[in-house]
Amino acid sequence: MSRITLVALFAAIIAAGAFIEIPIGPVPIVLQNLFVVLAGLVLGPILGTASVALYLLAGILGLPVFAGGTAGVARLLGPTGGFLFAYLLVPSIVGVIAGRAKLGEKTPLPRIIIAVVVGFLFMFIPGVPWLKFRLNLDWQRALVVGFFPFIPGAILKGIAVVLISPRLRRTAAAFLSGTK
């Protein structure tokens, strides 16, 4: 039951992060990507991915959990669809790099930093080409619209994740082991 609880909690947190947005064009600045990376760090690759899958399923089924309070399959097929699809893979990548949080063990900080950097960068790999394709942009314009404006925010969000994840990883490990 504790695993289901954490998966549902992170799906809800990711959804809440979509409502904290700065609309700057076809791709808004949101906090949901911070929580997607955090899900991989705290829950690991399997449960973190399950939380994102639950979040995406809620949006596909019509709950207004995507940026701007939107929902539906059309959102996945729109300009930001590549970023949403990346969300499904990021927790697996981040969770594998960071390794499983174990009770009484600290994950080396460089490992967490690498996991966070790779996680945030990986969101752009499917996101920018999908944006280019959907909006019929050249590569330069796709980078200007879907990558460069997000670098400062990704750095700030990455710092926040690196700072809060060690404690959350220990708490989740204790919760999942039944000692807390």
Dihedral over Cα of 155, 159, 160, 162: its sign:
positive
Q: What is the pLDDT of residue 1?
A: 61
Residue 22: CA count within 13 A, CB half-sphere: 6
pLDDT > 90 in the chain, percent:
79
User: What CATH number matches the domain at 2-177, 1.10.10.1800, 1.10.1760.20, 2.40.50.180, 1.25.40.80?
Assistant: 1.10.1760.20
pLDDT digits (tens, 9 = 90+) for 51-72: 999 999 999 999 999 998 899 9
61-94 as b/e: b if 16+ CB within 10 A: eeeebbbeeebeeebbebbbbbbbebbebbbbbb
pLDDT digits (tens, 9 = 90+) for 15-61: 999 998 888 888 988 999 999 999 999 999 999 999 999 999 999 99
Tallying the residues shown for the chain, one arrives at: 180
Closest to 145 (Cα-Cα) out of 64, 63, 83: 83
Hunting for tokens 């697996």 — which residue is that?
92
